[in-house]
């Protein structure tokens, strides 16, 4: 559905996107994961024909983004990071305007608007001025705008940024529903978001693709480097040495009030660790799994790339 | 066509759904009415004076040259101030609000967007002008008007509006700041208006060029009742030229380096 071929976007000497290639199949949800400034937005802007690529190209549904932009635009729905809304319009008027410029047949428009306001949960807001809506509702109107013409491909730039936790859950739910018959690309810098919504992940760092993988593989890779935080009452140094001898533990590091224990196999060693602490006659005060930060995963991945 | 109408409708709704259209129409009608009234009173004074003095010159006085012509001349001057305020938001606001990205990623060409926006502003301009012609309508009930120069003046108004608006749209497409867009179009319009002042001190070929570029030079004859095709062609091609420049500015962002 989407083929990106050696795409490069340079601003002067600075390469915002540097020679990236990947494919997205029909019906897939692909997450672009990367820290801020990694090139996610630029890639999306090139794919939506908003910015030209410096080199390389991409095809969406078989149409080249440079040679056939109008055909590409008919087939994509795009939600930029800041929803593109006219604050002085009412929601329904806005969607009517969108239907016109997206080429929805006038007969179809009414029916489609009625459908998307239900899908996006804005049925009771259609007569409100967009400027008076809360951020969560604006995001939904933005989503409604992106899916109104029933596009084959939906591209969303940080669809959950700036929303409160409840709204985030609702928007993710909505994305999963939408994706059932469409191809979706979304960008995020939040790792759990990718785990929850995407089939596949493209990790971008400084304009380059660091890894393309299924979500399962990525989580498996993270499990490789599971880290536990352990706090004990007693001599921390003795405990550290004892825990380090457990089979499967790859690393033990001291922090100011406890230990970080890493293990590299999938087997859960938490029972073995707690048993060892008790054997030493010490008290186990706290033990919890620590999520790796995105930065650490990037480090792990970039290091893995270099080893390869 | 449908796309052009969609943009046209959106811009019209935005002009009339906000105070912009009403404030600008009010300002324009107030100023032009003020000038019209003063010209009329002055004309009245002169006729009374000449009649009392039994002077022969009274035969030369005519309501067209004393009232209607200055009214047209002053109108174009007010438009130089009002039009930048009507055009400044057309692109700058879309860029600032992120909706430009929406338009550019929709299956609609930049030419369609441009024409839709131009037409919306132009129709608003013509609507305000129709109201201003009400003053002349009132005058016609109390005096014998020569309609020829009035029609040619109306033609000048129709033509010069298109040129002014296309200059304003060009300025708006260059920036995402509305104030800068307005200032740029003031500057362009005033420069084009008075560029023939420099002609007095220029020699031969520059004299001709500067005279040719001046907007005021091309309206003068028309407002006085002489319609010369070369003036008509000048305004139509000037509007087309500035719209073409705007289109080029908008498309240039899609060029590969």
pLDDT in tens, B4-24: 999 999 999 999 988 999 999
Contact criterion met (CB < 8 Å) for B13 and A53: no
Q: Is the dihedral of CA B177, B182, B185, B187 positive or negative?
A: negative
Q: Is B134 on the interface with A (CB under 8 A)?
A: no
CB contact under 8 A, B105 and A70: no
Band the pLDDT of A308: cuts 50, 70, 90.
very low
- Which is higher by pLDDT, A275 or B122? B122
Distance in angstroms (rounded) separating the CA atoms of residues A151 and A60: 12
User: Which residues does chain A have within 8 Å of residue B97's beta carbon, measured at their own beta carbons?
Assistant: 84-87
Which residue from B5, B99, B106 is facing A73, i.e. has the nearest CB? Answer: B106
Give a yes or no: residue A103 inside a domain.
Answer: yes
Q: Is A74 on the interface with B (CB under 8 A)?
A: yes
**Helix ranges restricted to H, A9-81:** 40-47, 69-75
Which residue in A10, A74, A83 is closest to B107 by CB distance?
A: A74
Q: In the structure encoding, which two tokens stand for residue A55, read together?
A: 């080199």
CA distance A199 to A113: 29
B65 Cβ under 8 Å from any chain A Cβ:
no
- 3-state SS, chain B, equals CHHHHHHHHHHHHHHHHCCHHHHHHHHHHHHHHHHHHHHHHHHHHHHHHHHHHCCHHHHCCCHHHHHHHHHHHHHHHHHHHHHHHHHCHHHHHHHHHCHHHHHHCCCCCHHHHHHHHHHHHHHHHHHHHHHHHHHHHHHHHHCCCCHHHHHHHHHHHHHHHHHHHHHHHHHHHCCCCHHHHHHHHHHHHHHHHHHHHHHHHCCHHHHHHHHHHCHHHHHHHHHCCCCCHHHHHHHHHHHHHHHHHHHHHHHHCCCCC
How many domains does chain A fold into?
Answer: 2
Q: Dump pLDDT digits (tens) for A52-100.
A: 888 888 999 889 988 888 999 999 999 998 899 999 899 999 999 999 9
Contacting residues for B3 by C-beta, under 8 A, at least 6 apart: A100, A101, A103, B108, B109, B112, B113, B116
- Residues A185, A254 within the same domain: no
Q: Is residue A166 part of a domain?
A: yes
Q: Residue A307 — very low, low, confident or very high, per pLDDT cuts 50/70/90? A: very low
Beta carbons of A97 and B101 less than 8 Å apart: no
Of A45, A70, A86, the CB nearest to B99: A86
Task: Classify residue A293 by its DSSP letter.
Answer: P
Measured CA angle at A188 (ends A183, A190), to 5 deg: 130
* A187-230 per-position pLDDT tens digit: 987 777 777 788 888 888 888 888 888 877 776 666 556 677 88
pLDDT of residue A219: 67
How buried is A262 (Cβ within 10 angstroms: 0-12 exposed, 13-18 middle, 19+ buried)?
middle
Residue spans of the domains in chain B: they are 2-252
* A109 three-class SS: helix
The answer to whether the beta carbons of residues A157 and A40 sit under 8 Å apart is yes
Contact call for A100 and B14, based on CB within 8 A:
no
More confident residue, A20 or A301: A20
Q: Domain span at residue A259?
A: 226-291
Query: Which chain A residues in 98-127 lie under 8 Å from chain B, judged by CB atoms?
Result: 98, 100-103
pLDDT tens per residue, range A223-260: 556 677 888 887 888 888 888 888 777 778 787 777 88
A9 within some domain: yes
- Give the predicted TM-score (pTM) of the model: 0.84
**Residues A68 and A150 grouped into a single domain:** yes
Residues A158 and A94 in one domain: yes
Write the residue in B13, B17, B106 that is nearest to A101 by C-beta: B106
Q: Which two tokens stand for residue B244?
A: 């073409």
A200 and A267 inside one domain = no
User: In this complex, do B102 and A145 lie within 8 Å of one another by their Cβ atoms?
Assistant: yes
With respect to residue A83, please indicate whether it lies within any of the assigned structural domains.
yes
Cα–Cα distances in angstroms (integers) from residue B242 to residues A70, A181, B170, B171, B188, in the given order: 25, 45, 6, 10, 11
> Quick check: A10 and B105 CB within 8 A?
no
Residue A137 and residue A73 in one domain: yes
Alpha-carbon gap: A75 to the closest alpha carbon of chain B (Å): 9
- Within a domain: A307: no
Q: What is the pLDDT of residue B8?
A: 96
Q: What percent of chain A lies above the pLDDT cut of 70?
A: 90
Q: Return the residue matching tokens 């048993």.
A: A275
Indicate yes or no: CB of A101 within 8 angstroms of CB of B6. Answer: yes
Q: What CA–CA distance (Å, rounded) separates A246 from B118?
A: 76
Q: Is residue A302 part of a domain?
A: no
pLDDT averaged over 10-residue windows placed end to end, chain B, 257 residues: 91 92 94 90 85 69 82 89 94 92 93 96 95 90 85 91 95 94 93 80 80 82 86 93 95 75
For residue A88, list chain B residues with Cβ-Cβ distance below 8 A.
14, 17-18
Write out the H or E segment, with its range, that includes residue A29: strand A29-33
- The span from the CA of A145 to the CA of A158, in Å, is 16
Which of A199, A220, A241 terminates a domain? The answer is A220
Subunit contact B104:A93, Cβ cutoff 8 A: no
| Residue pair A212/A22 in contact by the 8 Å Cβ criterion | yes
Q: How many residues does chain A have?
A: 308
Q: Is residue A303 part of a domain?
A: no
Res. A105: pLDDT tops 80:
yes
Distance (Å, whole) CA A16 – CA A231 = 44
CATH number, residue A194:
3.40.50.300
Query: Can you tell me the distance from the alpha carbon of A52 to that of B231, in angstroms, rounded to the nearest whole number?
Result: 41
**Domain-terminating residue out of A220, A245, A265:** A220
CB pairs under 8 A between A and B: 78
Residue of A nearest to B14 (CA): A88
User: Are residues A181 and A39 part of one domain?
Assistant: yes
> Is residue A285 very low, low, confident or very high in pLDDT (cuts 50, 70, 90)?
confident
**pLDDT score of B197:** 78
Residues A1-15, buried b or exposed e (16+ Cβ, 10 A)? bbebeebbbeeeeeb
- Report pLDDT for A306: 47
- Do the beta carbons of residue A240 and residue A228 sit within 8 Å? no
Together in a domain, A210 and A261: no
- Across the interface, of B105, B107, B257, the residue whose CB is closest to A103 is B107
Q: Give Dmax over CA atoms of chain A in angstroms.
A: 78
User: Which chain B residues are closer than 8 Å to A52 by Cβ?
Assistant: 253-256
pLDDT for the residue numbered B195: 81
Which tokens hold the place of A273?
Answer: 């660790």
**A153-157 and A183-188 strand pairing:** parallel
Residue of A nearest to B6 (CA): A100
Q: What is the CA radius of gyration of chain B?
A: 21
Contacts 24+ apart (CB under 8 A), B184-187: B185/B83, B185/B84, B185/B87, B185/B88, B186/B80, B186/B81, B186/B84
Nearest-by-CA chain A residue for B253: A51
* Confidence band of A300 (pLDDT split at 50, 70, 90): low
């Amino acid at each position: 559905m989407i083929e990106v071929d050696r795409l490069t976007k340079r601003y002067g000497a600075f390469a915002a996107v540097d020679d990236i290639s990947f494919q997205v199949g029909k019906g897939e949800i692909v997450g672009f994961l990367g820290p801020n400034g990694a090139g996610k937005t630029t890639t999306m802007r090139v794919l939506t024909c908003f910015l030209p690529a410096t080199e390389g190209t991409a095809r969406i549904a078989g149409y080249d983004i440079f040679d056939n932009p109008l055909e590409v635009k008919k087939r994509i729905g795009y939600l930029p990071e800041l929803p593109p809304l006219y604050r002085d319009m009412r929601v329904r008027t806005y969607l009517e305007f969108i239907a016109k410029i997206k080429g929805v047949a006038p007969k179809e428009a009414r029916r489609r608007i009625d459908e998307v306001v239900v899908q996006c949960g804005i049925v009771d807001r259609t007569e409100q001025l967009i400027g008076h809506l809360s951020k969560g509702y604006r995001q939904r109107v933005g989503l409604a705008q992106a899916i109104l013409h029933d596009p084959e491909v939906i591209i969303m730039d940080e669809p959950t940024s700036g929303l409160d936790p409840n709204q985030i859950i609702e928007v993710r739910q909505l994305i999963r529903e939408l994706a059932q018959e469409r191809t979706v690309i979304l960008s995020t810098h939040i790792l759990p978001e990718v785990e929850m919504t995407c089939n596949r992940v493209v990790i971008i760092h400084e304009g380059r693709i660091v890894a393309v993988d299924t979500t399962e593989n990525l989580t498996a890779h993270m499990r490789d480097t599971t880290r536990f935080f352990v706090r004990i009452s007693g001599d921390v140094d003795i405990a550290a040495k004892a825990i380090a001898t457990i089979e499967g533990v790859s690393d033990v590091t001291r922090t100011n009030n406890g230990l970080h224990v890493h293990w590299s196999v999938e087997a859960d060693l938490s029972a073995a660790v707690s048993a060892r602490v008790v054997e030493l006659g010490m008290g186990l005060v706290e033990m919890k799994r620590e999520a790796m930060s995105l930065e650490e995963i990037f480090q792990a991945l970039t290091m893995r790339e270099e080893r390869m | 066509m449908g796309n052009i109408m969609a943009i046209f409708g959106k811009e019209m709704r935005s002009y009339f759904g906000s105070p912009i259209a009403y404030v600008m129409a009010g300002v324009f009608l107030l100023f032009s009415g003020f000038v019209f009234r003063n010209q009329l009173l002055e004309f009245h004074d002169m006729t009374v004076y000449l009649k009392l003095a039994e002077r022969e010159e009274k035969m030369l006085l005519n309501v067209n040259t004393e009232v209607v012509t200055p009214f047209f001349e002053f109108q174009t001057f007010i438009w130089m101030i009002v039009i930048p305020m009507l055009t400044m938001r057309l692109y700058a606001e879309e860029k600032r609000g992120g909706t430009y990205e929406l338009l550019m990623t929709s299956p609609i060409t930049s030419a369609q967007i441009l024409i839709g926006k131009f037409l919306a502003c132009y129709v608003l301009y013509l609507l305000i002008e129709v109201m201003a012609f009400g003053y002349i309508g009132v005058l016609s009930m109390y005096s014998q008007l020569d309609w020829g120069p009035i029609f040619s003046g109306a033609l000048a108004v129709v033509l010069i509006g298109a040129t002014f608006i296309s200059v304003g749209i060009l300025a708006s497409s260059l920036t995402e700041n509305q104030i800068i867009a307005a200032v740029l179009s003031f500057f362009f319009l005033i420069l084009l208006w008075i560029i023939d002042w420099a002609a007095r001190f220029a020699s031969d070929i520059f004299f001709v060029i500067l005279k040719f570029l001046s907007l005021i030079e091309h309206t003068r004859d028309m407002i006085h009742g002489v319609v010369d095709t070369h003036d008509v062609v000048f305004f139509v091609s000037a509007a087309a030229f500035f719209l073409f420049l705007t289109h080029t500015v908008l498309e240039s962002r899609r060029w590969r380096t």
